[in-house]
A and B are shown apart, each in its own frame.
Chain A
Amino acid sequence: MKIERIEMSLSELHEKLPHTLGKNSENRLGLLTSIDGGQLATLLLNPKDGTAGLLVSPLENNSYRSFTPQLAQFHWFERALFDFFGIVADGHPRFKHLLLHDQYEGDFFPLRKIALPANFQNVLPRRYEFFEVKGEGVYELPVGPIHAGVIEPGHFRFSCFGETIVNLEIRLGWVHRGVEKRLTEVPWQKAHFVAEAAASDTACANAFAHAIAIESILEVKVSERAQYLRTIALEIERLAMHVIDVGGIGTDIGLLGISSAMGRLRGKALALADLISGSRFLRGFIFPGGVRPVSERKLSEIKAGVIGLRKDLAPVIQILSENQMATERMKDIGRLSRSLAQEFGMVGILARACGIEYDSRQCFEQGKFPELAPPITTELGGDILARTRVRIGEIATTLDTIEKLLDGCPHGEDKITLPASLPANATGLGIVEATRGELIHLIFTDEAGKICRYSIKDPSFENWTAISIAIRENLIADFPLCNKSMALSYSGNDL
């Protein structure tokens, strides 16, 4: 994707951002990061005309005035910026570590490449302090990072008053593997293997975003057939994930029939992924330059599979949506208001479930989207029911889209040959609507044409805050259901 790079001083940035990102503006914050620790790199997206701008502002003195007090969507970005670069956000209301835990050395900033200023003093103690709610009858309940189910690790610190949650603080970072750093160390031709491993259930979307970013640096365009096949793979991944997430809702409300049926049907969706790529999780299918070859016979089998799946899904979804008890169970729980979702820049299912019409498939170039992008599914409730309905709606539009893409898929080359090296001092951007929402890969190359900074923004990064907001004043027994309805990624967030 084309990206416009603008150099801008910090004071100009401070003047510009409140206008460009304020209420009712067309723009949204893509991500905030740094390249080597000496500057702020702010990615601004304009979903309306599908453009992106990168504001690079050199830092003096390793710190800047925090944007969070005015623009809430910055709050985690600024904390991550300190964890990885040691850049201090002055005046951040809750400035503490985000992903790196107590074990690390005090001045360890893994992505920083330039020396720390001589007078640098670590403003944050390594020991993490949870937000404390005081008052008679308020107690703390720690849950995780190890959970009873086979899920990823995350620590939830509830402050409860009886059965009601007063505050929830989420601590992640338990599966931080240093993906972004590793991506700058491996040869760029093989980096897609690392990129797609950023979050395994989003392997295809990550590989896709990586490929778009690399191709935008090289300024090449892949064949029409590759575009179609990539988009089909992306939608198959979405289909499989949505099916199991709706099944997960069934598990948590106690409708085990729904969950076992959905588990089986997710297997069928994964079988489609296996047909197109040879891997049930679409590993290794998309890479910069194209896709792995797919025979016509396989494509027609996928078509038959999609038709079969549509028929199988209909009765299960009907049972779930017509069950009055289930509807009542999900209604008005874990409500997220539209204004807060907007303020925190939330994306994906949970944003669409509170009426925000943002689906990056409609805005940013990704394979055959936005040309063949399905209509946006939105709901207004903002509660668990709304999120489940958006998922169910997207299952239908995704099935339609896959069929449409299969019908239109032309013959041609699967891949093109890429130049041997990346251009120097270039910036590449890939935006893909993953299952959970907008996924961004941003790549910078240095003077030698080597990747010097690779930044990934998983949709969960913005959305984790949504759980804390939505569960407030709700019953603690409703937390698992609320958590499930958002189905966020731990590894995608921790990287």
Chain B
Amino acid sequence: MTLNLHAVLETLGFTATFLLLPPLIVGVIRKTKARFQNRIGAPVLQPYYDLLKLLSKSETISKHTSWIFRSTAAVNLSMLIILAFLAPWTSFRPFDLASDLFLVIYLLALTRFFTVLSALDAGSAFGGFGASREVTLALLVEPSVILCLASLGSVSQSSDLAFVFSFKNMELLNQPGLWFLAGCGLFLASLVELSRMPADDPTTHLELTMVHEAMILENSAANLALVEYSHFLKILILLGISSQCLLHAVPYFWHSTELIRAGASIACILLMAVSIAVIESVAVKLRWTKLPEFIAYSVAMSIFCVFIALGKNLN
């Protein structure tokens, strides 16, 4: 067996990208937000420094916690790394792994399940709070994510996301409308999934209003670093999937080289980070009871995707 140097390099490049990119995305969001507020803001690389700082701190663990709290960070990180290999967050993939769309969605749900468990585990009032809110939001967003991806799968006659997002499926070439709607629907759903504005304010210090932050109040030091990093990785994956939908909507990328596509994937993710920052700068954090109205936009888009897919299949 000959060692395929090219394949090794590709794998290394891919792994390095998804390991190193997530904090940068967050850095870009924070920097853009700071500029919107007329502030210089922390350096773009600050999230990396923060993670390193957290890793070197000593940890405080509530004595009321069980093994769930201790292992959640590791479980989540490993699941997200698996997802990074499976989910179509970039056009460039070194392995030919089949990735069923339900596997991807429910691996994501499994990370949420563990986060929620660990939030409940510490028994603090705010953990329970955050957990209950997170689950409520997840419940509302889930149909939108499933319907967007399923309608793409239905048109391409496959539930393998690797195949759907491969720029090879000719059934999907002439469906820019479907791709665009799915991309926007997934982007709006991601805002909620990732606890960004207008669902949750990631910069707030007010425990009573938090969703994601409330769940990780008990985590500290390396544990917190892993939780934060997993969350960053989740941002990369979810923004990646919606940016891939948008790229597929542009016929140019169907005919371009792999390198251009790979570059465009990264650029599109960063662009989405900037747009998140813009949204967070001009939008107000919505009242909790108004959130279903916001999620309805995403669900409506996903339902339009279903209509398009149905129309296509009926022909």
B208 with A329: CB separation less than 8 A: no
Q: Which of A237-245, A248-256, A342-350, A353-361 sits within the interface?
A: A248-256
Is residue A325 contacting chain B, with contact meaning CB distance below 8 A?
yes
B125 with A142: CB separation less than 8 A: yes
A254 with B38: CB separation less than 8 A: no
Q: Which residues of B contact A256 (CB under 8 A)?
A: 33, 36-37, 203, 280-281
B208 with A477: CB separation less than 8 A: yes
Is residue B39 contacting chain A, with contact meaning CB distance below 8 A?
yes
Interface positions of A from 332 to 350, Cβ below 8 Å from B: 333
Q: Which of B17-25, B97-105, B283-291 sits within the interface?
A: B283-291
The digit string for A467-491, where 1 denotes a CB below 8 A from any CB of B, is 0000000011111110000000000
Of B38, B208, B289, chain A has the most CB atoms within 10 Å of the CB of B208
Is residue A6 contacting chain B, with contact meaning CB distance below 8 A?
no
Q: Which residues of A contact B280 (CB under 8 A)?
A: 254, 256
What residue in chain B is nearest A148 (Cβ atoms)?
B205
A475 with B37: CB separation less than 8 A: no
Once bound together, how far apart are the Cα atoms of A323 and B281, in whole Å?
12
A260 with B283: CB separation less than 8 A: no
Q: Which residues of B contact A476 (CB under 8 A)?
A: 129, 208
**Chain A nearest CB: distance from B35 CB in Å?**
10
Q: Which residues of A contact B282 (CB under 8 A)?
A: 257
A329 with B37: CB separation less than 8 A: no
Interface positions of A from 437 to 495, Cβ below 8 Å from B: 475-481
Once bound together, how far apart are the Cα atoms of A260 and B34, in whole Å?
10
Once bound together, how far apart are the Cα atoms of A257 and B280, in whole Å?
10
A257 with B281: CB separation less than 8 A: yes
| Cβ-neighbour of B209 out of A149, A325, A328, A477 (below 8 A) | A477
Size category of the B interface is: 20 to 34
| Cβ-neighbour of B206 out of A148, A323, A333 (below 8 A) | A148
Is residue A143 contacting chain B, with contact meaning CB distance below 8 A?
yes
Interface positions of A from 131 to 159, Cβ below 8 Å from B: 139, 141-143, 148-149
B284 with A254: CB separation less than 8 A: yes
Interface positions of B from 112 to 145, Cβ below 8 Å from A: 125, 129
Once bound together, how far apart are the Cα atoms of A211 and B259, in whole Å?
77
Once bound together, how far apart are the Cα atoms of A477 and B286, in whole Å?
10
B37 with A323: CB separation less than 8 A: no
Q: Which residues of A contact B203 (CB under 8 A)?
A: 256
**Chain B nearest CB: distance from A43 CB in Å?**
37
Q: Which residues of B contact A148 (CB under 8 A)?
A: 205-207
Is residue B276 contacting chain A, with contact meaning CB distance below 8 A?
no
Is residue A261 contacting chain B, with contact meaning CB distance below 8 A?
yes
Q: Which residues of B contact A477 (CB under 8 A)?
A: 208-209, 287-288
Once bound together, how far apart are the Cα atoms of A142 and B203, in whole Å?
22
What residue in chain B is nearest A324 (Cβ atoms)?
B284
**Chain A nearest CB: distance from B112 CB in Å?**
19
Q: Which residues of A contact B204 (CB under 8 A)?
A: 252, 254
The digit string for B185-225, where 1 denotes a CB below 8 A from any CB of A, is 00000000000011001011111110000000000000000
A478 with B287: CB separation less than 8 A: yes
**Chain B nearest CB: distance from A415 CB in Å?**
42
**Chain B nearest CB: distance from A452 CB in Å?**
44
Is residue A8 contacting chain B, with contact meaning CB distance below 8 A?
no
A260 with B285: CB separation less than 8 A: no
The digit string for A51-63, where 1 denotes a CB below 8 A from any CB of B, is 0000000000000
Is residue A163 contacting chain B, with contact meaning CB distance below 8 A?
yes
Once bound together, how far apart are the Cα atoms of A329 and B280, in whole Å?
15
Is residue A326 contacting chain B, with contact meaning CB distance below 8 A?
yes
| Cβ-neighbour of A323 out of B205, B284, B287 (below 8 A) | B284
Q: Which residues of A contact B207 (CB under 8 A)?
A: 143, 148
Once bound together, how far apart are the Cα atoms of A478 and B206, in whole Å?
10
Once bound together, how far apart are the Cα atoms of A456 and B300, in whole Å?
59
Once bound together, how far apart are the Cα atoms of A323 and B33, in whole Å?
18
What residue in chain B is nearest A140 (Cβ atoms)?
B125
A-B contact pairs, 24 of them (CB 8 A): A139-B125, A143-B207, A148-B205, A148-B206, A148-B207, A149-B205, A252-B206, A253-B284, A254-B284, A256-B36, A257-B36, A257-B281, A264-B38, A325-B284, A325-B286, A328-B284, A333-B287, A475-B287, A475-B289, A476-B208, A477-B208, A477-B288, A479-B208, A480-B208
Given A148-B207, A163-B288, 14 new contacts (CB under 8 A): A148-B205, A252-B209, A254-B204, A257-B282, A260-B37, A260-B38, A261-B38, A264-B38, A325-B286, A328-B290, A329-B287, A475-B288, A477-B208, A478-B288
* Nearest 7 pairs of A and B residues by beta carbon: A254-B285, A325-B284, A480-B206, A148-B205, A260-B37, A477-B209, A254-B201
